[in-house]
Structure 1
Amino acid sequence: MTGHVLDRPVWHSLIGVHTHLARRHGSAARYDPEVSPFAGTEADGDAAWADLRTVLGGGGSAFLPGSPFPVPDDVRVPFRVSVLQMVAPEWRPEPDPEAIELGPADAAEMHDLASRTKPGPFDLRTRELGRYVGYRVDGRLVAMAGERMHPPGYTEVSAVCTDPEFRGRGYAVRAMSTIGSAIVARGETPFLHVATDNPAIGIYERLGFVTRLEYEVAAVVIPGSSPGPVDEPRHPYAE
């Protein structure tokens, strides 16, 4: 296949660093749904959709960033979200010594913080995608950031969020810088996805992120029956 790995970041993550979290059939793969709702394919077209239907199953759903398109007529699309994919090739952040490492014992609090602040899809096992750091005030987790997709040569900065009571204190930038410094130290380039209407774009630009492309994230539901209730896809970048 030709093209840049960031054109299909889910696919390239799931055939590489995140293989252990993948469910794959042919040219399509998805994350374990308990970890992440994203899926991707190696290419566009009918063959990719046939493999994706097998991976998701009848009644199954996923978020597809950028591909495969066009979506078949029988596949339901509850919503589409326009996002920017931003990269920071010149960013050289410094880690914050006050940032704390987040791990399995913090999973419930991380999920609660993300559920309230809605930086994107985040479930109890999402932390398995990579490293996460955060900040506590009086023992309470009030901010965090971490790693998500990991195509070759790149790592996505994700789950950047701060409790509304503690915004304006620089926690988000400090957490991003801590995560970003480790990415750069590995010789990789940080990137991120952000909804086109998110005011945080200005903050990311000041840090050195530049827009590489704009595309849609489509929530799709495959037709057919499923063994249990179908979960309606949740908006991944809701404010």
Structure 2
Amino acid sequence: MLNNPVWAALTGPQACFAEAAGNAARYLPEIAPFAALSDPADPSAWRDLATLTDFAVLTGPSITPLAGWRAETVTHGVQMIGQSMSGVQDPEAVPLTEKDVPEMLELVARAQPGPFLKRTVDLGRYLGIRDPDGRLVAMAGERFRMPGWTEVSAVCTDPAWRGKGLAARLTLAVAAGILARGELPFLHAVHDNDNAIRLYGRLGFTHNADVTFASYRI
């Protein structure tokens, strides 16, 4: 499952957020830009994907598109898993819900953690930390969920508040919720984001695989 997490999510616990056709599926457009194929090497799966959308972001160890699909962006990353880590609840971390989405989108624009849309918050539990004036300055939450595993995602901190350990605290708090359900946390980081990779390693995550995130258009 970990080598094709979006497919495992969209055909499993998050099927309610999916549009599917044959051997392809994607999140509803307002949820996330990600799509998946049952087997990225299967030409018929790419043809199924074309019936759903003309643009998709895919992830996996290796992706070779069918002729006619062109890569627009390709980002190399790492997948890390928390099989032996312990989460830590944070009393200052507050739940974030639909009413907080405008603030969450503003924080994402400042911190650039990766794709986050107006209904991404529906995918799982999101937590945030606010400054003394009540302004949201850091957040983290859950994105891909498949049997036994949930991804920690959207870990970000306002640039003015970095270096205070907020990302670590929120990552551990989100992981604590995942572990409490009897699941294991995993996450992704860009391969050259050494600071993030070192941080996640200190928190107990270990390297599982090298992955590629790529956007394709037909």
Matched, 1:145 2:134: no
Q: In structure 2, how many angstroms separate the alpha carbons of the residues matched to 1:17 and 1:128? A: 13
Q: Which amino acid aligns with 1:51?
A: D
Q: Which residue pairs with 2:45 in the alignment?
A: 48
Indicate the SS of the match to 2:77: strand
Indicate the SS of the match to 2:52: helix
Q: In structure 2, how many angstroms separate the alpha carbons of the residues matched to 1:196 and 1:39? A: 21
CA shift for structure 1 position 69: 3.4
Q: In structure 1, how many angstroms separate the alpha carbons of the residues matched to 2:98 and 2:55? A: 27
Q: Which residue pairs with 1:11 in the alignment?
A: 7
Q: Which residue pairs with 1:74 in the alignment?
A: 68
Matched, 1:221 2:206: no
Q: Which residue pairs with 1:127 in the alignment?
A: 121
Matched, 1:172 2:167: yes
Q: In structure 2, how many angstroms separate the alpha carbons of the residues matched to 1:34 and 1:82? A: 25
> Over aligned residues, Cα RMSD in angstroms?
1.1
How many pairs were matched up?
215
CA shift for structure 1 position 17: 1.4
Alpha-carbon contact 1:87-1:212 (below 8 Å) kept = yes
Gaps of 5+ in 2: none
After TM superposition, which residue ranges in structure 1, 4 or more long, deviate above 6 angstroms? none
CA shift for structure 1 position 73: 2.8
Alpha-carbon contact 1:145-1:160 (below 8 Å) kept = yes
Gaps of 5+ in 1: 223-239
CA shift for structure 1 position 93: 1.6
CA shift for structure 1 position 67: 7.0
TM-score (ref. length: structure 1): 0.87
CA shift for structure 1 position 68: 7.7
Q: Percent identity?
A: 46
Q: Which amino acid aligns with 2:87?
A: P
Q: Which amino acid aligns with 1:170?
A: G
Q: Residues 80 and 142 of structure 1: is their aligned pair in 2 closer, same or farther, counting only changes over 3 Å?
A: same
Q: Residues 91 and 67 of structure 1: is their aligned pair in 2 closer, same or farther, counting only changes over 3 Å?
A: closer
CA shift for structure 1 position 62: 1.1
Q: Which is richer in strand?
A: 2
Q: Which residue pairs with 1:29 in the alignment?
A: 25
Q: 1:113 aligns with which of 94, 103, 107?
A: 107
Alpha-carbon contact 1:115-1:122 (below 8 Å) kept = no
Q: Which residue pairs with 1:93 in the alignment?
A: 87
